[in-house]
Structure 1
């Protein structure tokens, strides 16, 4: 996890350390991560509550997918995210103790990875206090996945083959099916939905937005 965190940004998943300042993610999910969504809405001056919810969920998806995805091709491990915690004052994530599954001992590493990450995203979706289209949230998950893969590819280009295979398998799994498709050799992606960022003051359509032309 230290090696993966060195990739920066969303790849940071803290492990161990003092327990003060961290809370079980289940508590945040039960509240729909309302504090994160409201903070995002204030930052972007968004009047529609669903904009803050969507962007906050997209950011959370990126913090889940990025380190979990990178651990598979880099170290052959699918992290066990069951005990994941969130910082009490922000979106940072932590595992109290390192745990994971050896990818070469799993019948389908991509399915195991999918279940680890989407289990969290499904729990968040169930707790949302604002109505957001389920397929928009699925599109956010797919977008976060592919952006994580693109960032990893840029940092470790030797992983192109296995990383492309893993990303393609994930996009063909469960709720990610039909969310979009890879359109280029460097994992360029076009989703079929929109995260709503363009509806915030000063916002715009993202590079993979289904509404972009």
Structure 2
């Protein structure tokens, strides 16, 4: 699937339109000098450790406990970053029928603060995605493989976390973005559901989640959030009572 040189105005408009779907879908055009490239998150251990320390501090302030397991911090750091990346991309594709594409060096994130972190993305091309299957395939080819997979490997290098858990985080982030898009714009809900089903049927995320009888999504792993005091479980957790 080849990225096509759609006019920058069309791609920029699609990203701008996605911003109306919610905070996780908004992007900036120009990063500040202190922002970090997405490429650096996977290649510079200092950048990823900085973000995990930020997440640890936020969790400690939210749930004061003597110690928070490093695996919990690493998992939630990974989940938050992936959700921040995929949300505007999926929102733009659902709204416009084109998936923005650019090298990871052109994506920048401000690593300080609570989610959703500020994100800047300058698309250099796009892929036409007419069907749910085309969008699922394009997302794998142009984003999950070159951008998310290296981040997952980097997280595992910093902390011993199950690859099954991190793959589940990716699916959860994608499912969450699709669900939020459908809530913000109900006319997108059916297409968003079809995209998620396509992702679960084949490709690297096959088998990482499924539909409950009520149609809601449940992942086949857990992000470990339940290990925080009184945190309970997430709505898509395999440990949820509705599983």
Report TM bin, short chain. 0.7 to 0.9
Structure 2 CA distance for partners of 1:86 and 1:127, relative to 1, 3 Å: same
Give the counterpart of 1:2 among 3, 11, 16.
16
Q: How far apart are residue 209 of structure 1 and its match?
A: 0.8
Residue deviations 1:89-113 (CA, integer Å, cap 9, x gap): 45422123553222249x9332011
TM-score, normalised via structure 1 length: 0.88
CA RMSD of aligned residues (A): 2.2
1-side partners of 2:89 and 2:210: how far apart? 21
Q: Is contact 2:101–2:123 with CA below 8 Å preserved after alignment?
A: no
2-side partners of 1:101 and 1:183: how far apart? 31
User: 5 Å matches for 1:1-213?
Assistant: 1-14=15-28, 16-17=29-30, 19-30=32-43, 31=45, 33-45=48-60, 47-82=68-103, 83-87=106-110, 89=112, 91-97=117-123, 99-104=125-130, 108-119=134-145, 120-128=147-155, 129-183=158-212, 188-213=216-241
2-side partners of 1:52 and 1:173: how far apart? 29
Structure 2 CA distance for partners of 1:42 and 1:88, relative to 1, 3 Å: closer
2-side partners of 1:162 and 1:101: how far apart? 17
How many residue pairs end up in the alignment?
Answer: 210
Structure 2 CA distance for partners of 1:38 and 1:73, relative to 1, 3 Å: same
